[in-house]
């Protein structure tokens, strides 16, 4: 292929991939499969590697992979990034309407839009290409976060069409959808880290991360709502955003035009009810004068535009009585204070409990026994106590609530590391909730996958004194388990639950335990529960060191040089293996036949490992190939993290078909919907 042909092909692929990105991330209407999309992207990457001089920084292949930023550059806004005036009442909306009519007359209309609860961003485009992304900052200047914003797939790197201005800015809000927020917090809690309070904080924190690759994992989104520039040929704000949507920007479908402020208020009331159905947070509605000429006539104050106002929903806040404060101990020993409340209906659900986060929060609230407190839902998700309701205090307050000094479960004195907000119980091998938490983590799907032991069975085994360590699971027998039974009272549901070990239950448990002996080393390493070592890092450590013995003998200075291992993680690993009880625990698991080293195939693949591109993928290789022998292709699969299997099953990812492949294999692959790929397709996967 000549350079000109490659240039033409790259342009065509870029346009096609950008179109599919737009369909998927903006319109939510994908038209091709993920596999077909990946093949297009791989083809583009291959061409860009073959012709590196044709690589464009705005290529869809460059979404992720920017260099780590040491400090964000401050950038002065070309147009001041002002905030909006806020109101919570219809009366103030009417006053706003009267001021507008006094200035421009009665012949105008409003546009109502969602007020997103996220992080404001200004995107500048030059000749249809994203040039920069800057946060609001103080309104006059903000942080250049272009590298991080490029990872957000709903933001176009290059625009559709050709009728966009040469230079313009478009502003919007970067948000974290609820599903991304819940996933992120689940991962943080699993690592013993403090969860984010709400999606807004999570989005803001994510955008300020120094590594774009880490930002990409946070699955942020962006809605745009305001176009700025010198040569914009539009008469109305509504028209400008409709055109921006054609250029590829994500514009809300909730934008409506209203003839009067009363119509706008009706829309506000509708949205206040409907917002619970959205997959992201909004905290109000923005009302703007639609005509750009009228906007210019109205102008600005020193702080905000005179042609727009934000109606903010009142966060539903109710007063209820504080019944008690309990302190919960998690798997990692982190102690979380939780307030028990008189039940109250809040934002569509009954709230009985609210997190108090940590000792600093309790001190800040100045809580006393019997106080009435104001509760609201932070980010519409997590109930939280905002303040004490002083109006309901009667006479002298009862005793002040103080953060505990010793573990409520085992009595061990709590510790709080310098620079951290959380208190910990250090008695990890003797504290009941920590032990039960470690057991539940050990059997979880991504760890040892002993799913037959869920639904309260671990708690029963612990309460009966039969299991105090994951190693004890491998001593269980049919006779020990059959007939075990216990009744638990579920306080949240106000009902009893009976856990009973019948014959079929016991057989499934023992089968699950036996199967766990074949779980590979990287998942075992995740299962043993070293603080801050999540699923991905456990895999990296397993492939880096190969055996548990090598990892145990790695010092801090060595660990700190492993990819994704920071000082806190290195310190945690060293601390874990310096504890003699943890070393004994691992030896017991070894004695039970648990795998603590990569198998020979994985070691062989790892010794000459090229990439993880085929990680988790299984291949059946059949036939005669043009460029490589069958053995060489199988080795290439292993070098890139894949696995060779001999027979086709429903779990096979690909049938790699050469010349003269038997018809039965093709027929079986077709029947089981296993993708059949050629040698060229395979090479595209590796480029």
What are the tens digits of pLDDT across the range 119-131? 999 999 999 999 9
Domain shared by 394 and 266, yes or no: no
Where is 245: in which H helix or E strand?
helix 237-247
Q: How far apart are CA 556 and CA 312, in angstroms?
A: 51
Residue 244 lies in a domain: yes
Q: Are 595 and 518 in contact (CB under 8 A)?
A: yes
Three-class SS state of 393: coil
Q: Among all residues, which ones are annotated catalytic?
A: 115
Q: What's the mean pLDDT in 347-358?
A: 80
Q: What is the pLDDT of residues 71-80, one digit of tens each?
A: 688 899 999 8
Residue 343 lies in a domain: yes
Q: According to the model, what pLDDT value does residue 390 have?
A: 84
Three-class SS state of 142: strand
Q: According to the model, what pLDDT value does residue 275 have?
A: 84
Domain shared by 21 and 162, yes or no: no
Q: What's the mean pLDDT in 132-141?
A: 89
Output 300-304 pairs: Cβ under 8 A, ≥24 positions apart. Answer: 300/82, 303/82, 303/83, 303/85, 304/82, 304/83, 304/84, 304/85
Q: Are 91 and 138 in contact (CB under 8 A)?
A: no
Q: How far apart are CA 398 and CA 681, in angstroms?
A: 73
Q: What is the pLDDT of residues 237-272, one digit of tens each?
A: 999 999 999 999 999 999 999 999 999 999 999 998
Q: How far apart are CA 272 and CA 60, in angstroms?
A: 38
Q: Are 139 and 301 in contact (CB under 8 A)?
A: no
Residue bearing the bigger pLDDT, 386 or 258: 258
Residue 531: give its domain's CATH number. Answer: 1.10.150.20
Q: According to the model, what pLDDT value does residue 257 have?
A: 96
Residue 17: give its domain's CATH number. Answer: 1.10.287.610
551, 582, 598 - which closes a domain: 598
Q: According to the model, what pLDDT value does residue 144 have?
A: 92
Q: Is a pLDDT exceeding 60 seen at residue 565?
A: yes
Both structure tokens of 339: 């307030």
Question: Quick count: other Cβ atoms within 10 Å of Cβ 340?
Answer: 15
Q: According to the model, what pLDDT value does residue 551 have?
A: 95
Q: Is a pLDDT exceeding 70 seen at residue 378?
A: no
Where is 289: in which H helix or E strand?
strand 282-289
Domain shared by 142 and 13, yes or no: no
Residue 398 lies in a domain: yes
Domain shared by 290 and 196, yes or no: yes
Confidence band of 590 (pLDDT split at 50, 70, 90)? very high
The phi, psi pair for 522, rounded to 5°, reads: -60, -35
Residue bearing the bigger pLDDT, 74 or 377: 74
Both structure tokens of 61: 């292949």
Q: Is a pLDDT exceeding 60 seen at residue 70?
A: no
Q: How much of the chain is helix, strand and coil, in % rounded to 5? A: 40, 20, 40
Q: According to the model, what pLDDT value does residue 294 have?
A: 96
Boundaries of domain holding 478: 432-518
Q: Is a pLDDT exceeding 90 seen at residue 432?
A: yes
Sign of CA dihedral 636, 638, 643, 645: positive
The phi, psi pair for 596, rounded to 5°, reads: -125, 30
The label of the residue with tokens 């040698």 reads 679
Q: Is a pLDDT exceeding 80 seen at residue 630?
A: no
Q: What is the pLDDT of residues 153-183, one digit of tens each?
A: 999 999 988 899 999 999 999 999 988 888 8
Q: Is a pLDDT exceeding 60 seen at residue 392?
A: yes
Q: What's the mean pLDDT in 456-460?
A: 87
Domain shared by 98 and 10, yes or no: no
Residue 68 lies in a domain: no
Residue bearing the bigger pLDDT, 538 or 562: 538
Q: Are 423 and 403 in contact (CB under 8 A)?
A: yes
Residue 567 lies in a domain: yes
Confidence band of 274 (pLDDT split at 50, 70, 90)? confident
The label of the residue with tokens 């994992």 reads 217
Q: Whole-model pTM?
A: 0.55
425, 455, 471 - which closes a domain: 425
Q: Is a pLDDT exceeding 80 seen at residue 570?
A: yes
Q: Is a pLDDT exceeding 80 seen at residue 604?
A: no
Q: How far apart are CA 339 and CA 356, in angstroms?
A: 7
Both structure tokens of 241: 């955003």
Domain shared by 244 and 321, yes or no: no
Q: Is a pLDDT exceeding 90 seen at residue 650?
A: no
Residue bearing the bigger pLDDT, 355 or 432: 432
Question: Quick count: other Cβ atoms within 10 Å of Cβ 71?
Answer: 7
Domain shared by 417 and 439, yes or no: no
Residue bearing the bigger pLDDT, 160 or 536: 160
Q: According to the model, what pLDDT value does residue 396 have?
A: 66
Mean pLDDT of the chain: 86
Please give the tally of structural domains in the chain: 6
Q: According to the model, what pLDDT value does residue 659 have?
A: 80
Domain shared by 505 and 616, yes or no: no
Q: Is a pLDDT exceeding 60 seen at residue 213?
A: yes
Residue 69 lies in a domain: no
Report, in angstroms and rounded to the nearest whole number, the Rg of the chain calculated over CA atoms: 30
Sign of CA dihedral 665, 669, 670, 675: negative
Q: Are 485 and 501 in contact (CB under 8 A)?
A: yes
SS (H, E, C) 14-56: HHHHHHHHHHHHHCCCCCCCHHHHHHHHHHHHHHHHHCHHHCC
Q: Are 37 and 10 in contact (CB under 8 A)?
A: no
598, 617, 650 - which closes a domain: 598
Q: Which of 493, 470, 496, 494 is nearest to 485 (CA)?
A: 496
Q: What percent of the chain has pLDDT over 90?
A: 43
Residue 637: give its domain's CATH number. Answer: 3.40.50.10190
Confidence band of 192 (pLDDT split at 50, 70, 90)? low
Domain shared by 154 and 253, yes or no: yes
* CA angle 38–42–43, rounded 5-degree value: 120
The residues, ordered by sequence, that sit 6+ positions from 254 with a Cβ below 8 Å of its Cβ are 113, 114, 271
Domain shared by 403 and 497, yes or no: no
Q: According to the model, what pLDDT value does residue 28 have?
A: 60
The residues, ordered by sequence, that sit 6+ positions from 262 with a Cβ below 8 Å of its Cβ are none
- CA 393 to chain centroid, in Å, comes to 41
Q: What is the pLDDT of residues 605-626, one digit of tens each?
A: 455 567 788 888 889 888 888 7
Q: What's the mean pLDDT in 7-11?
A: 88
Q: How far apart are CA 628 and CA 637, in angstroms?
A: 12
């Amino acid at each position: 292929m000549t350079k000109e042909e490659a240039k033409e092909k790259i342009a065509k692929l870029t346009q096609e991939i950008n179109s599919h990105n737009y369909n998927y991330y903006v319109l939510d209407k994908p038209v091709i499969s993920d596999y077909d999309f990946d093949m297009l992207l791989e083809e583009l990457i291959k061409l860009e590697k073959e012709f590196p001089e044709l690589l464009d920084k705005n290529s869809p292949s460059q979404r992720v992979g920017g260099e780590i930023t040491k400090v964000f550059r401050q950038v002065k806004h070309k147009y001041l990034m002002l905030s909006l005036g806020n109101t919570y009442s219809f009366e103030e909306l009417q006053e706003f309407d009267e001021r507008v009519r006094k200035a421009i007359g009665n012949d105008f209309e409003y546009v109502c839009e969602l007020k997103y609860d996220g992080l404001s961003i200004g995107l500048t485009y030059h000749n249809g290409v994203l040039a920069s992304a800057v946060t609001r900052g103080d309104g006059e200047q903000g942080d250049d976060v272009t590298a991080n914003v490029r990872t957000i797939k709903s933001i176009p790197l290059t625009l559709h069409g050709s009728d966009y201005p040469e230079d313009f800015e478009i502003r919007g809000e970067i948000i974290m959808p609820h599903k991304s927020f819940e996933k992120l917090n689940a991962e943080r809690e699993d690592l013993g880290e403090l969860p984010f309070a709400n999606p807004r904080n999570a989005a803001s924190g994510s955008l300020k991360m120094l590594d774009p690759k880490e930002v990409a994992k946070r699955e942020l989104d962006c809605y745009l709502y305001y176009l700025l520039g010198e040569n914009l040929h539009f008469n109305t704000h509504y028209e400008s955003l409709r055109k921006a949507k054609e250029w590829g920007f994500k514009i809300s479908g909730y934008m409506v035009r209203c003839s009067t402020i009363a119509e706008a208020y009706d829309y506000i009331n509708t949205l206040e009810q409907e917002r619970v159905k959205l997959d992201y947070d909004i905290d109000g509605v923005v009302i703007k004068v639609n005509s750009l000429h009228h906007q210019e006539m109205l102008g600005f104050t020193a702080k905000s535009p005179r042609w727009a106002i934000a109606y903010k929903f009142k966060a539903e806040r109710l007063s209820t009585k504080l019944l008690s404060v309990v302190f919960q101990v998690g798997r990692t020993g982190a102690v979380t204070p939780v307030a028990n409340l008189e039940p109250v209906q809040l934002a569509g659900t009954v709230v009985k409990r609210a997190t108090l986060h940590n000792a600093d929060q309790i001190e800040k609230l100045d809580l006393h026994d019997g106080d009435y407190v104001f509760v609201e839902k932070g980010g519409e998700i997590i109930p939280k106590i905002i303040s004490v309701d002083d109006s309901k205090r009667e006479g002298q307050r009862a005793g002040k609530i103080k953060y505990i000094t010793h573990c409520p479960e085992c009595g061990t004195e709590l510790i709080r590391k310098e620079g951290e907000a959380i208190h910990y119980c250090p008695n990890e091998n003797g504290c009941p909730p920590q032990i039960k938490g470690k057991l539940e983590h050990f059997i979880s799907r991504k760890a040892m996958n002993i799913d037959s032991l869920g639904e309260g069975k671990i708690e029963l085994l612990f309460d009966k004194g039969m299991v105090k360590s994951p190693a004890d699971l491998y001593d269980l027998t049919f006779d020990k388990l059959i007939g075990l039974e216990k009744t638990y009272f579920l306080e949240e549901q106000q009902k009893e639950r009976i856990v009973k070990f019948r014959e079929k239950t016991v057989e499934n448990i023992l089968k699950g335990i036996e199967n766990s002996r074949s779980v590979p080393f990287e998942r075992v390493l995740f299962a043993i529960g070293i603080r801050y070592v999540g699923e991905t890092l456990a895999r990296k450590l397993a492939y880096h060191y190969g055996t548990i013995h090598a990892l145990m003998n790695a010092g801090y200075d060595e660990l700190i040089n492993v990819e994704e291992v920071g000082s806190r993680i290195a310190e945690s690993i060293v601390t874990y293996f310096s504890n003699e009880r943890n070393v004994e625990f691992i030896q017991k698991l070894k004695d039970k036949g648990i795998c603590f080293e990569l198998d020979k195939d994985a070691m062989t693949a790892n010794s000459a490992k090229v990439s993880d591109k085929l990680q988790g993928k299984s291949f059946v290789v059949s036939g005669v190939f043009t460029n490589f022998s069958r053995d060489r292709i199988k080795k290439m699969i292993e070098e890139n993290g894949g696995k060779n299997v001999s027979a086709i099953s429903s779990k096979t990812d690909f049938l790699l078909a050469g010349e003269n492949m038997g018809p039965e294999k093709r027929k079986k692959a077709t029947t089981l919907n296993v993708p059949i790929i050629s040698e060229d397709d395979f090479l595209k996967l590796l480029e």
